[in-house]
Amino acid sequence: MLKIENLHAGIEDVEGEIIKGLDLEVGKGEIHAIMGPNGSGKSTLSNVLMGHPRYEVLEGSVEFLGEDALELEPDERAKLGMFLAFQYPSEVPGVSVANFLRTAVNSVREEELRPMEMYKLLQEKMKIMQMDPKFAERYLNDGFSGGEKKRNEILQMLMLNPKLAIMDETDSGLDIDALQVVAKGVNELRGPEFSAIIITHYQRILRYIEPDFVHVMLDGRIVTSGGKELAEQLEERGYDWVREEFGSKA
């Protein structure tokens, strides 16, 4: 599904590497959590995977479904089935949620979905997310609460039905409601054809989404990996022991 090898990356006009030789393999149907202290490079990694234009890959490779993902534009990655959270603009005057989702769904399809099918799909997914149908008529992000934005993003994910979702929850300060919304969306899609990378500082979201693998990121690398017990260990002991055990001695 996804294979990252010896990835080195940084930000345009910022000296030095932030990702310093990261390796990760995500198989079909697997949920991976990447955890790490602040500043370890988690958001940089998700931005690189999303193809954010300000991020520069200096070395290494990212293969997605057998293709060189680094050669693909963000929209081409999406067409292949990568779900790129936070890809949409923060507020779009005059564009309703329904219109936005129609455009998003059609942009990853070969053939446009017929209006009736689109309507049915939207109804079905909104029901899963326990959303009021009226929500679809609102303008995108116009006065949305944090929870509504998150709900809309997860609704978008369900509509797109991606093969791989990458979610960076670290700095979003999600409350429990929003966390549960995210978890519901991921758990809804969970199955042999869906993989996810949940990037997080706190392990709380992992109470709602049980990861198959947990990786710890430190100073731009994955320094140790394990099962969900590793997340529990991090909750109990914090990140200090990781630094002591794996931190650079420089």
Per CB under 5 A, residues contacting Mg ion are: 38, 42-43, 170-171
18 is a contact residue toward ligand ADP (CB under 6 A): yes
- The stretch among 1-9, 10-18, 137-145, 230-238 that binds ligand ADP (CB under 6 A) is 10-18
Q: Among residue numbers 25 through 54, which ones bind ligand ADP (CB under 6 A)?
A: 36, 38-44
Kindly state the smallest distance separating residue 53's Cβ from ligand ADP, in Å: 13
* Residue with smaller CB distance to ligand ADP, 163 or 221: 221
* Residue with smaller CB distance to ligand ADP, 18 or 69: 18
* Residue with smaller CB distance to Mg ion, 75 or 171: 171
Kindly state the smallest distance separating residue 159's Cβ from ligand ADP, in Å: 27
Residue type, 236: E
3-state helix, strand, coil in the chain (%, to 5): 40, 25, 35
* Residue with smaller CB distance to ligand ADP, 124 or 240: 240
**Distance in angstroms (rounded) separating the CA atoms of residues 6 and 197:** 18
185 is a contact residue toward ligand ADP (CB under 6 A): no
Q: Are the beta carbons of 14 and 57 closer than 8 angstroms? A: no
Name which of ligand ADP, Mg ion, none residue 18 binds, using a CB cut-off of 5 to 8 Å depending on partner kind: ligand ADP
Outline where 42-89 has alpha helix (H).
42-50, 74-80
Kindly state the smallest distance separating residue 19's Cβ from Mg ion, in Å: 13
Q: Are the beta carbons of 135 and 159 closer than 8 angstroms? A: no
Q: How many CB atoms lie within 10 A of CB 229?
A: 9
Number of residues this chain uses to bind ligand ADP (CB under 6 A): 12
Please measure the distance between the N-terminal and C-terminal CA atoms of the chain and give it in whole angstroms: 35
Identify the residue among 3, 8, 11, 95 touching ligand ADP (CB under 6 A): 11
Query: CA distances (Å), 206 to each of 29, 169, 182, 230, in order?
Result: 17, 11, 11, 11
Kindly state the smallest distance separating residue 15's Cβ from ligand ADP, in Å: 9
Tokens of 116: 């009736």
Distance of CA 106 to the CA centre of its chain: 21
Q: Among residue numbers 115 through 174, which ones bind ligand ADP (CB under 6 A)?
A: 170
* Residue with smaller CB distance to ligand ADP, 11 or 70: 11
Q: Which residue is nearest to Mg ion (CB)?
A: 43
The residue whose two tokens read 């758990």 is 187
**Distance in angstroms (rounded) separating the CA atoms of residues 85 and 250:** 36
Query: CA distances (Å), 39 to each of 35, 89, 221, in order?
Result: 11, 25, 12
* Residue with smaller CB distance to Mg ion, 38 or 123: 38
Interface positions with ligand ADP (CB under 6 A): 11, 14, 18, 36, 38-44, 170
